[in-house]
Amino acid sequence: MDETSLLYAPAKQQLGELRSGRISARELLDLAVDRVDRLDPGLNLVVAQDVESARQQAKAIDEARASGHVDDDKMPLAGLSMTVKDSFMVTGMPTTSGASELVDYMPDRDADVVNRLKAAGAIVFGKTNLPRYAGDVQTFNEVHGASNNPWDVTKSVGGSSGGSAGALAAGFSPLEMGSDIAGSIRNPAAMCGVVGHKPSHGIVSGRGQIPGPPGTLTLGDIAVVGPMARTVRDCRQALELLVGPNAWESPAWSLRLPDPRPSSDRPLRIAVWADDEYCPVDPEISGAVLSTAEALEWTGAHVDPTARPDGFDFAKADSTFDDLLGAALSGSWSPAELEEMADALAKGDPVSGGLGVKGAALRHRQWLSRNERRLQMRQSWLRFFEKWDVLLAPVSPTVAIPHDHGHPMSDRVIEVAGEQRPYTDQLKWMGLFGVVYLPSTAVPVGLHSTGLPIGIQVVGPYLEDLTCLAVAELIEQATGGFARPPLD
């Protein structure tokens, strides 16, 4: 296997090479660092590195393995080099979250997910780019600049985990950690042609991520932390390492995810939602959703392109998502700004700004109303998934978009099948499921006529993440999964 093929190999295969002794942890690390040094100047995906510390960790693992002191059951990622999103605190490297006021911030502890990865033997050698405070579906900020898509440098990598998805597509890292409140794992995964899993809300600790400010203990509404990789299997292995209680609950409970639903006892039951007039989708993307469903139907699955939760309304769900997203992100604005926004909304005047601006000034009594509406929707989805195992849907109305860094975000537009649509349409198909805490796996299914990747999402019942991943793996087998961009 040549060096590039090794770096593009799944994490599982790289670990096999390490365990067999065909390559050392130090050699694998140096290959990854050399590739970043060679290709990243044109991509701007990796914004910080701690190579010397990583080499010391690799040396220690190599020595322990040589003396028979590496237990692969206890350290399943031993010697694997990887990067993580710059919203996660990692000791030895700055954590800026793309914000100029944090350019010199050096955390004294690792984020919980980073701690778990390191405990499993992973070597985190770099941090990847994101929008300021993870607040966009493109990846650019005043500290590190814009990240370019390995498929086409004139296009965005998506966001907010755009540097993470780009690093996977570029062969810099076999595994990444993303975060998702409005699609920040799924959108960049689709834009870059990799796999990203948005877990059920609450099953992976988010402590040690910025935003909020360093030291924040609040567990954010809607927001989750989850794995990204080039294969579904790698995502599943990472999720299994990360799932568990946070510090508050750990004295009293543990968590075991239900086994995946697909079995030999009955055919899979797959609902399909490929397009909607409320948020139109590029015909090639909706066509890819339908053709993926047809490929699964050939395996014996029962497929229905019309199944929906009873009484469900996309527009109402999206409005609820907008309001609850804004409330979750309201700390991004000062009290004076929030009062000004509330006054404008009360008068019926438009407000413009960044992610979540429409719901940021929500009063608490209004939040209670929207939360009750969300609970009613969760109940509808619960009943829906009594009949169906998963739902296939688009991730975004478009493939990767051209760079557009104009402000405010609410004034930007995208083009969908020749029609100009609001920039925030990119959030709607992801917010539909995120606001109700459902798990969702974004998986690549082929290329658009523009040569850019198409990704779709596999949505499952709450806490049945392994069902999403199992069906995503079937899709991966049917469609070919990850393809390398034309970099080498």
Say what the pLDDT of residue 215 is.
Answer: 87
Residues 6+ apart with CB under 8 A from 157: 45, 138, 139, 147, 148, 149, 150, 163, 165, 166, 188, 191, 192, 400
Would you say residue 141 has pLDDT above 90?
A: yes
Q: How far is CA 321 from CA 39, 190, 328, 439, 474, in A?
A: 38, 21, 10, 16, 30
Find residue 243's DSSP bridge partners. 204
Which helix (H) or strand (E) segment holds residue 365: the answer is helix 364-387
pLDDT in tens, 228-270: 999 999 999 999 999 998 888 889 999 999 999 977 688 999 9
Q: pLDDT of 470-479, one tens digit each?
A: 999 999 999 9
Q: What is the DSSP letter of 110?
A: -
Q: Give the DSSP letter string of 294-334.
A: HHHHTTT-EEETT---TT--HHHHHHHHHHHHHHHTGGGS-
Fill in the amino acid letter for 129.
Answer: N
Beta strands in 188-276 (DSSP E): 195-198, 224-229, 269-272
For residue 159, count other CB atoms closer than 10 A to its CB. 29
Alpha carbon distance 302, 309 (integer Å)? 17
Report CA dihedral (359, 361, 363, 367) to the nearest 10 degrees.
Answer: 20
Nearest to 240 by CA among 231, 224, 253, 227: 227
The C-alpha atoms of residue 181 and residue 135 are separated, in whole angstroms, by 9
According to the model, what pLDDT value does residue 365 have?
A: 92
What is the distance, to the nearest Å, from the Cα of residue 191 to the centroid of all Cα atoms in its chain?
Answer: 11
**Model pLDDT for residues 193-230, shown as the tens digit of each residue:** 999 999 999 999 999 999 988 988 877 899 999 999 99
The reported pLDDT for the residue numbered 21 is: 96
CA distance 161 to 182: 11
Q: Which domains are present in the chain?
A: 3-242 (3.90.1300.10), 269-479 (3.90.1300.10)
Handedness of CA 287, 289, 293, 298 (dihedral sign): positive
Q: What percent of the chain has pLDDT over 70?
A: 100
* pLDDT tens-digit series, residues 386-431: 999 999 999 999 999 999 998 888 899 999 999 999 999 999 999 9
> At 300, is the pLDDT very low, low, confident or very high (cuts 50, 70, 90)?
very high
Contacts of residue 277, Cβ cutoff 8 Å, sequence gap at least 6 = none
Of 251, 192, 199, nearest in space to 224 by CA: 199
The tokens describing 58, both together, are: 């690799």
pLDDT higher at 247 or 10: 10
Amino acid at 203: I
332 pLDDT higher than 80: no
For β-strands 302-304 and 440-447, DSSP reports them as unpaired
Rounded CA-CA distance 117/373 in Å is: 37
pLDDT band at residue 488 using 50, 70 and 90 as cut-offs? confident
Which pair of tokens denotes residue 485?
Answer: 């961009």
